[in-house]
Amino acid sequence: MKASAGGYARANDLSHAMELLASSDGSGRVLAGGQSLIAAMNMRLSTGDMLVDISRLSELSGVTEEADTLRIGALTKHVEIGADPLIRAHAPLLAEAVTCIAHAAIRNRGTIGGALAHADPAAEFPACMLALDAIIHIQGSNGERSVAAEDFFEDLFETSLEEDEILTAITVPKAEAGERQVLQEIARRSGDYALVGLCLVARSTGHWVSLLSVGSTPVLAHNAMTLLDQGDVDGAVVALRAEIDPPSDTQASAGYRRHIAGILLRRAVAQAKGEIA
Amino acid sequence: MTIQFGNPDRPNSYIGKTVPRPNAGRLVEGRGKYVDDITLPRMLHVAFVRSPFAHAKILGIDAEEAKSVKGVLRIFTGADLAEICTPWVAVLEHLKGLKSPPEYPMALDRACWVGEPVVAVVATSRSAAEDGAALVEVDYDPLPIVTDMMSALDATTPVLHTELGDNLAFQRLHEEGDVDSVFQTAHKVVSAHFKTGRHTGVTPEPRSILVDWNPAERQMTAYHATQAPHMMQTALAEHLDIPESRVRVICGDVGGSYGIKVHVYPDEVATAAIAKIMARPVKFIADRLESFTTDIHARDHEIEARIAVDAEGKILAIDVDDWTAIGAYSVYPRTSAIEGNQVVNLCGGPYDFANYRAKTTVVFQNKTPTCQYRAVGHPIAVTVTEGLVDMAAAALGMDPVEIRRRNMYADDVYPVTSPAKMRFEGLSHHQSMDKLVALMDYDALRADQAEARARGVHRGIGIASFIELTNPSPFMYGIGGARISAQDGCTVRMDPDGSIVALSGVTEQGQGTEAMLSQIVAEGVGVHPENVRVITGDTQVTPYGGGTWASRGAGIGGEAALRSAQALRDSILEVAAAMLQADQASLDIRDGQVVDTDTGAQRMPLEELGRIVYFRGDTLPDGLPRELVQTRHYITSEYPFAFTNGVQASYLEVDTETGIVTLLKHWCVEDCGRIINPQLVDEQIRGGIVQGLGGALFEEIHYDSEGQLLNGSMADYLVPMAGEMPDMIVGHVETPTKESALGAKGAGEAGTAGAPAAVMNAINDALRPLGAQVTEMPFTPERILRALGSIED
Amino acid sequence: MTRIFADQIDVELTVNGEPVEARVPVGQHVIDFLRQNLGLTGAHASCEHGVCGACTIRVDGSSVRGCLMLAAQLDGADVWTIEGLSDSDSIRDLQEAFIARNALQCGFCTPGMLVAAEELLAQGGVPERTAIREHLSGNYCRCTGYEAIVDAVETVARQRAGQVQSGKVRA
C-alpha cells in the first residue's frame, strides 16, 4: 500500500528537531532510519504523521569512549555498530546482535536509536540494552534526562519517551577484562525476528540475562540472574521458564518459547564458559 | 524429416544443448516490461475496498466522503459492474456433482471471505485510490461462518451457500480391487494422519492488469500478467460481451506465476469492466497485503491413509481419505476440485499394486478460494504415498530404498495402467533410483549419518519417488466444458533476410520458453537459434493456444513449433529446389544456408532465397508455392496425460533441542523425456524443489476461527530464502514420449512434487531412534519438539 | 496545521550520475519516485514492507530498500539503479555471469539481487557460499531456488580475485 503521511520537515540540528516536534501539535513522529516506521506507514498502520526527519543530524551519530563507558549516538547505523572497533572491543554483544538484525540493506539505514524508540520486543537491541545495563539519553523541550534501560521500555512499542522528546544517545559500560557477552537466538530464517532470543552478560558483579520475543517488552530475568550468580544453572533454567510469560502467535506457542528460553540459557552459559562456539 | 536425436553431431543440433536465453540480457539490465512498468495516456488506477468479515451481508455502501478525495474520479459497487459483466460458475461436467454458486466481479449483497472485493475506487493514482478506499463506509451485518474443514459437513455447521443445500462442493470415491479384505489379512498395516499447510504462491510480481477500452473500435486491450492469454481473451470476451476478435490480451514479462496467474480473478475482471465503462485505461496492481487474501491459496488438505504390505515389503493395498477446503467459491474456469481429484489420481503412483481406494471430499468455507498452484495435488499425493512407504519399511525393518525397488513398476512393463486408472506410456523408476543412489552415494551417506548419531547429532535421509502429470489433453478441462485449450499452435516465418520469426501460443514466465522454442525452431528450419526471434504472449498475433501451465510448454508448444518449423523448411526447400533445379530431397538447410544433403556443399544462403521470393517473384515458376510462413497446431491424442517420473532425496539435520531443521543437501533424478535445454531443465527442477522445501519447512497460511487471516505479510508468511536452502544435485533419465516427434514431457512440477515428502521422510529418519514422527506440514520447530514430547504447556 | 510541515518537498539529487530536481509528495517512497517520476522501472515495488528486496537500489554507496526510504529524504543523495549500473558497465561481469548460469528466471527480483550481490562483491575476496547465501538472504527469488545465483556470484568473486578466467562459469 501507499503511505499516507501528514507532513514532513527535515531537521538541521537537534534544537531545530525539538522545535519541529513542539510545533507538530502532538502528531509529530521522529523519522530516523525509517526501517520500521516507513514499513508501518506503507501498511497504513500509521497515517497522518508529521514526520520530523532527524536522519541528517551528524551530531547524533558515532561511537565515543567516555572513561568506563561507550557513548553511542542514536543515529549510529546498525552496519556501523557491527563494524565499529570500540563496539567490538568493549560491547561485543551489540556487534553480535547486528548479525542477527534483518539483512544488509536494512542494516545500512536502520539506527540503534530508532530501534530502541520503536521498542519492538522481538528486536535485538532493546534486549541488549537490558543485559548491558545501558543508560538511555533523552533530549526534551525542558532539557536532557537519562533513563535506565529497564525503565525505558514500558509496553508493546511503548517507551518512556514523551511526545516532545528525542532519544539522543546510549551509554553502555565497557566490558571488564574477562567479561563475557553472549547472544543466543532461534529464528526460522536468517534475519527473521527471533522466536526467542537471550542475551547473557557475565560480569564480576554478576550475571545479566535478558530476553527478546517473550513478552510485550524485552525482559530481564531477575530470578535466573540470581541463580546464575549462585552458580546454579539448572535452577536458573527452571526459574527463567517460570518468570517469563511469552506470547503465542503463528510462529510459535508460549510453551515452545518458554522451553526454548531455557535451552538458550544453557547454551549461552556454555558459550560464555567457552564450551561451545 | 526425422531428427536423429541420437546423433549429437547431426547438423543444426540445437535441441539438447544449453543455449543462452534470448530474454535474459534484457532482464539483467532492468529492461523488462512488466505490467506495472507500462504507463498509458489518461491511465487511471483502481483500489478495492475488501470485506473485513469472513461472511457478512452488505447492508449499505456510503462512498460520499471517498468521492471528495483529490484524484478520486469514480466509485463502483458490485451492482454497478453486474450491469455489464455476467457472472461465472466454476464447475466441470466431468467432475460429477461439482457445484459452486455464480460469482460476480465484486460482491453484490454478501461477502464470503476476508478480502473479497466489495467496492472499487478509481483515481488518478494508486495512492489517491487507496485514500478514497479508506473512506468508503460499508455497513456489514456479520453472518454465521464456516471455517473448519473437518466439520464443514456437520449438521450443526451453517451452510455457506444455502441455495446449494450443503457445504459439499465435490466428492469422488475411486475403488479398485478388494481393499477391505486385504487390510484384514495383510502382514503389516501402517496408518497415519497427514496435513499439508494452506499455501499461497507469493509471486514476486503481484497480480497485475492494465485494461484499455476503445469504444470507437469496440476494442479491448488488456496488458496482463497471465499464464494463459487466450483463455483470458475468451473469458473477458464472454463475460463483457465483446467478440473474441476484439479482445487483445498482451502478456509481456511476467514476474513469476507458478499457477497463481492462470485463473480468472474477480478483481481483474472488475478492472476490465471498469475500463469498459469509463473508456479509459485502468490499472490494477495487487498490493502485497491484498495478495495474501486474494491470490488463490492451495494445498489445504487433511488425509487419513493406510498401507498394507506383505512380509517381503510388497504393497498390497493403499487406502486414502482426503479432505480439502477450498474457500468460498470454486475458482473459474479451472475449478477448485482438481487438486483433490489429483490426489485420488496420483496416490500410489510409482508402485505396482492392485488394491486401491481413494476418496476426496471438497468443502466450502469462508476463506480465500483455493485452486491450482504449482504441482497441483502432487506434493500431497507424494507425501501420503512416500510417508506410508517409509513407515511400512520401518515397520518391516527394511531399507527405504529397498522397499521402493520391490514395488516400483519395472522399467520394461510399459504401457501400463495404474490402480488409479492412470495410463503410463513409459517411465523409468528403477533407472532413476539407481542413478539417485549413485549420485548421493547412499551407503556413504548412511555411514555419515551413523557417525553423526554416535556424536549425538541427528541426521536423516529421506527418499521420495513420484510421478508427475504433464502435457494434459482436453481430458483435464475441455471435456468438462471449460474453454481452456489443450492444443497449441506456432507460426514460423522467414523474413526476406533469411531470419526467422516464431509466434507461439505458449508463454514465457521465466522458465525459458522462448529459448526452448528458439532451439526447436532453429533445428527444425536449419538456422542458428540467434536468428530465431520468438514472439509470445499477444493474442492478436500468436496462434490460439492454452498458454503455460501443467508443464505443457515444451511438450505441446514445443511440438507445434517443431512441426511448423519443419513445414517452413519444406516450403523453403521447395522454392530452393525450383531455383537450383535440384531434387528437393537432395537439399538441406544448415546454419542458414541451403546445402547439398550429402556433401554439405553450400548452394544458396537463405538471404538470397528471401530476396528472390519477396522481391523478384517474377523470376520463379508460375504456380510455385511461395508461402514462407507455416502454422501448425498440436494436441496429444493417445494419452490423456504424459506422465513423467523421478525420485528425490534429502539429507538434513534436526536440532532436537530446538526443533530447527538444517537442510544439508538435496538430490533429484527425473525423467522429463527429451531434454531440449539441459540448463533450463535443471533450473526448473531446482526452483521447483525450493518451492517444495518452502512447503515442507515454512509456508502456512493461518486463519483464526473467525476466518481472519493472521499472517498476511511477508514478515509473517515465510517463504524460502537463500540462507536456508541447500545446494541441489540434479540428474536425468530420458524416456521420450512416442506421441510426438520431439518426445518432450514436462519438468515444471517435478521438484515441487517430491521435495516435501523427501524432507518429511528425512526428518522422520532422524527422529525415529527417538520414537518421534511428524506428518503435519510445515515441519516447524514447534511441531518437531511436540513430536519429541519436549514441550510442556 | 502549521506550515512548517510540507506535504510536498523539493529535492535535488543525482540519479545514475545525472542531476535530478523534483517536487515529491511526502508519503512517496523512493521506489515509486524512481519508477513513476523518472521512468526507472528496473527495480520493482513488490512487498512495500521491506522484506522481499525487489526494490533494492544503491543510495550513497550502500544498498537500500527503495520502499523503506522516502523520496523526500533524497535531497543531496547519490542514487544508482540497475539502469545506471548497466549503462556504466560497472557490473557487466556479474550480469554476464547471471546470464551464463541462468541465475534468473522471471527476472523480477534480478535488479535488486544484482545490487545486493555487488555490495558483497565490492568487499573483495572470495566469500564462502554460506556467506553469499547469508548476504542475499534478504532478497526473495521464487523461481531459481537460489543455487544458480550463488554460483554466479561465487564465479564473479573468483574472477575478480584472479582465480579463474573471466567468462568461465560453472555450468
Strand pairing category for A69-73 and A63-66: antiparallel
| CB < 8 Å to A4, chain C | 27
User: Please, which residues bridge with residue B174 across strands?
Assistant: B358
pLDDT digits (tens, 9 = 90+) for B64-81: 999 999 999 999 999 999
Average pLDDT, chain B: 97
Which among C49, C140, C148 is the nearest to B719, CB-wise? C140
Would you kindly state where each structural domain of chain B is located, as residue ranges? 24-32+487-633, 35-143+203-294, 368-473+638-783
Identify whether the C-beta of residue C130 lies closer than 8 Å to the C-beta of residue C146.
no
Over 60: is that where the pLDDT of C166 sits? no
Q: List the domains of chain A with CATH numbers.
A: 7-52 (3.30.43), 61-173 (3.30.465.10), 180-272 (3.30.390.50)
Name the residue with cell 547473557. A200
3-state secondary structure of B458: strand
Taking an 8 Å cut-off on Cβ atoms, the answer to whether A255 and B791 are in contact is yes
The DSSP line for chain C is --TTSBSEEEEEEEETTEEEEEEEETT-BHHHIIIIIS---SS--SSSSSSS-TTEEEETTEEEEGGGSBGGGGTT-EEE-HHHHHHTTTTHHHHHHHHHTT--SS-SSHHHHHHHHHHHHTT-S---HHHHHHHTTTS--SSS-SHHHHHHHHHHHHHHTTSS-TT----
| Any C CB within 8 A of A74 CB | no
Residue of C nearest to A4 (CA): C27
For chain B, list residues with pLDDT below 50: none
| Any A CB within 8 A of B785 CB | yes
Amino acid at A187: A
Q: Is residue C77 part of a domain?
A: yes
Q: Are residues C19 and C81 in the same domain?
A: yes
C-alpha distances in Å from residue B294, one per residue of B105, B115, B121, B197, B598: 13, 6, 17, 17, 61
Provide the strand spans (E) within B339-456. Answer: 355-363, 416-417, 423-424
CA dist., res. B693 & res. B199, Å (int): 12
Taking an 8 Å cut-off on Cβ atoms, the answer to whether B36 and C45 are in contact is yes
**Alpha carbon of C143: minimum distance to chain A alpha carbons (Å):** 19
Phi, psi angle pair for A155, to nearest 5°: -160, -175
Over 70: is that where the pLDDT of C170 sits? no
Strand pairing category for A206-212 and A158-159: unpaired
Average pLDDT, chain A: 97
Give residue C123's domain range.
91-160
The per-residue pLDDT for B792 is 87
- Domain B368-473+638-783 annotated CATH 3.30.365.10: yes
The per-residue pLDDT for C163 is 84
CA dist., res. B194 & res. B93, Å (int): 30
Of residues B642, B628, B625, B649, the one with CA closest to residue B739: B642
- Interfacial A residues in 180-219 facing B (CB < 8 Å): 186, 188-193, 195
Which among A9, A42, A79 is the nearest to C49, CB-wise? A42
The per-residue pLDDT for B793 is 84
3-state secondary structure of B42: coil
| Any B CB within 8 A of C27 CB | yes
| Any B CB within 8 A of C56 CB | no
Residue of B nearest to C29 (CA): B127
| CB < 8 Å to A256, chain B | 659, 781-782, 785, 791
Taking an 8 Å cut-off on Cβ atoms, the answer to whether A106 and C65 are in contact is yes
- Interfacial C residues in 121-160 facing B (CB < 8 Å): 129, 132-134, 136-150
Over 80: is that where the pLDDT of A277 sits? no
Identify whether the C-beta of residue B718 lies closer than 8 Å to the C-beta of residue A192.
yes
Angle (CA) B563-B249-B91 rounded to 5° is 85
| Any C CB within 8 A of A35 CB | yes
Q: Are residues C13 and C40 in the same domain?
A: yes
Among C85, C100, C133, give the residue marking a domain's end: C85
Q: Is residue C64 part of a domain?
A: yes
**Alpha carbon of C163: minimum distance to chain B alpha carbons (Å):** 22
Task: Put the strands of the sheet holding B593-596 in their side by side order.
Answer: B587-590, B593-596, B602-605
Cis peptide bond upstream of B101, omega within 30: no
Amino acid at C102: N
Taking an 8 Å cut-off on Cβ atoms, the answer to whether A253 and B793 are in contact is yes
Taking an 8 Å cut-off on Cβ atoms, the answer to whether C47 and B21 are in contact is no
CA dist., res. B239 & res. B255, Å (int): 27
Taking an 8 Å cut-off on Cβ atoms, the answer to whether C142 and B204 are in contact is yes
**Alpha carbon of A106: minimum distance to chain C alpha carbons (Å):** 7
Same CATH fold assignment for domains B24-32+487-633 and B368-473+638-783: yes
Identify whether the C-beta of residue C94 lies closer than 8 Å to the C-beta of residue C119.
no
Q: Are residues C127 and C72 in the same domain?
A: no
The per-residue pLDDT for C91 is 98
Q: Are residues C56 and C119 in the same domain?
A: no
C-alpha distances in Å from residue B780, one per residue of A195, B659, B694, B766, B787: 11, 7, 11, 15, 11
Identify whether the C-beta of residue B664 lies closer than 8 Å to the C-beta of residue B649.
no
Taking an 8 Å cut-off on Cβ atoms, the answer to whether B791 and A256 are in contact is yes
Residues contacting C83, CB < 8 A, separation 6+: B29, B30, C16, C40, C42
Q: Is residue C138 part of a domain?
A: yes
Q: Are residues C105 and C66 in the same domain?
A: no
Element (H, E) at B196: strand B188-196
| CB < 8 Å to A2, chain B | 126-127, 130
| Signed CA dihedral, C136, C142, C145, C147: sign only | negative
- What's the grid cell of residue C51? 522484506
Taking an 8 Å cut-off on Cβ atoms, the answer to whether B718 and A253 are in contact is no
Interface contacts (A, C; CB < 8 Å) = 120
Identify whether the C-beta of residue B173 lies closer than 8 Å to the C-beta of residue B95.
no
The residue among B17, B26, B27 with the most chain C CBs within 10 A of its CB, best to mutate, is: B27
Which among A23, A24, A105 is the nearest to C56, CB-wise? A105
> Which CATH number characterizes residue C76's domain?
3.10.20.30
User: Please, which residues bridge with residue B459 across strands?
Assistant: B653
Taking an 8 Å cut-off on Cβ atoms, the answer to whether C32 and A108 are in contact is no
Tell me the pLDDT band of C168, cut-offs 50, 70 and 90: very low
The per-residue pLDDT for C165 is 63
CA dist., res. B787 & res. B773, Å (int): 6
Provide the domain count of chain C.
Answer: 2
Q: Are residues C14 and C64 in the same domain?
A: yes
| CB < 8 Å to A39, chain C | 49-50, 67-68
Among C56, C85, C114, give the residue marking a domain's end: C85
Of residues B308, B364, B319, B315, the one with CA closest to residue B343: B319
Identify whether the C-beta of residue A53 lies closer than 8 Å to the C-beta of residue A11.
yes
Q: Is C3 exposed, middle or buried (0-12, 13-18, 19+ CB in 10 A)?
A: exposed
Q: What is the CATH number of domain B24-32+487-633?
A: 3.30.365.10
Tell me the angle at which helices C110-121 and C147-160 cross, rounded to the nearest 10 degrees. 40
> Which CATH number characterizes residue C126's domain?
1.10.150.120
Over 60: is that where the pLDDT of C24 sits? yes
Over 50: is that where the pLDDT of C110 sits? yes
Which homologous superfamily is B35-143+203-294 in? Aldehyde oxidase/xanthine dehydrogenase, a/b hammerhead (3.90.1170.50)
CA dist., res. A148 & res. A157, Å (int): 17
- Interfacial C residues in 103-122 facing A (CB < 8 Å): 116, 119-120
Q: Are residues C81 and C95 in the same domain?
A: no
Over 90: is that where the pLDDT of C3 sits? no
| Any A CB within 8 A of B134 CB | yes
| CB < 8 Å to C4, chain A | 7, 9, 20, 23
Of residues B10, B19, B33, the one with CA closest to residue B530: B19
pLDDT digits (tens, 9 = 90+) for A60-105: 999 999 999 999 999 999 999 999 999 999 999 999 999 999 999 9
Identify whether the C-beta of residue A36 lies closer than 8 Å to the C-beta of residue A118.
yes
Q: Are residues C48 and C102 in the same domain?
A: no
Among C28, C59, C85, give the residue marking a domain's end: C85
| CB < 8 Å to B654, chain A | none
